[in-house]
Amino acid sequence: MKADRPLRLVSSVVCLVLAFASCTSNRGADAPTMTGLALEPAPDVSALSLPDAGNGGAPFRTRAAPGGLLLVYFGYTSCPDVCPTTMSDLRVAESSLTEAQQGRVRFAMVTIDPSRDSDELLTRYVRSFAADGHALRTEDATELRAAAAAFGADFGVKDGGMGQPEVLHTGWVYVVDDRGRLRLQWPFGTTSEDMASDLRVLLTEAVGRA
């Protein structure tokens, strides 16, 4: 189904990536190429923490376990198109890794629509994609906005009156390493093959460093 992805949308997202590509640079000539966008210097999100709804609201720091990677997504449970597509691609990407590699990758989703996504609903949603996933939810609008800003994510929820609220959100998946650095981000429409390939590069690198 990847081939059906509308080219227009993917390329407009890619155009935005291009606009940002000027801030990136290659780390050495022998660095393996990755599809995702890497900002340099890698933004530090290690100080950030959000309540983990699946763990009684205990603060969860957005940094991976030693030698691992944390995938962070800003979405909402009533998202019918973009979020489930990305979740599905992520799941396929992760399943193509070795079991040992899979054990080192964790997923966290931050809801941008906490008024409709209750703790319980968000936890169920996240766990149906990733059994060990983290459901991050805060009702503090300032805290949510600051968290999104740390990742460079944007969102908005406009009351739709009688109809559905109009929700706007950045469709990126963010890859954070064990030092809490935002190493890579994938725009909506990144194929699961590309995600898997990038994850392998970063996981191999983490082993080399350990």
Partner 1 sequence: MTSLRIALAVACLAASAGLIACGDDGGSSPSAVAVRDAWARSTADGQTAGAAYMKITGGSVDDRLLTAATPSDVARAVELHETVVAGGGMGSMTMRELDGLDVPAEETVQMSPGGYHVMLVDLAAPLVVGRSFDLVLTFANAGPQTVRVSVRDT
Binding residues for partner 1, per CB under 8 A? Answer: 1, 4-19, 21, 26, 33, 77-82, 84-85, 87-89, 92, 121-122, 124-125, 127-129, 152-156, 164, 166-172, 187-189
Shortest gap between Cβ of 123 and partner 1 (angstroms)?
A: 8
Q: How far apart are CA 112 and CA 93, in angstroms?
A: 24
Shortest gap between Cβ of 2 and partner 1 (angstroms)?
A: 9
Shortest gap between Cβ of 66 and partner 1 (angstroms)?
A: 29
Nearer to partner 1 among residue 126 and residue 176 (C-beta): 126
Nearer to partner 1 among residue 61 and residue 91 (C-beta): 91
Shortest gap between Cβ of 150 and partner 1 (angstroms)?
A: 13
Provide the token pair at 134.
């983290």
Torsion angle, alpha carbons of 150, 144, 113, 55, to 10: 100
| Angle (CA) 152 97 63, round 5° | 35
Shortest gap between Cβ of 160 and partner 1 (angstroms)?
A: 10
C-alpha to C-alpha distances, 204 to 35, 107, 132, nearest whole angstrom: 16, 19, 22
Closest CA to 72 of 176, 1, 202, 189: 176
Under 8 Å between Cβ of 84 and 48: no
Provide the token pair at 115.
């008024």
Nearer to partner 1 among residue 43 and residue 152 (C-beta): 152
Nearer to partner 1 among residue 56 and residue 80 (C-beta): 80
Nearer to partner 1 among residue 64 and residue 201 (C-beta): 201
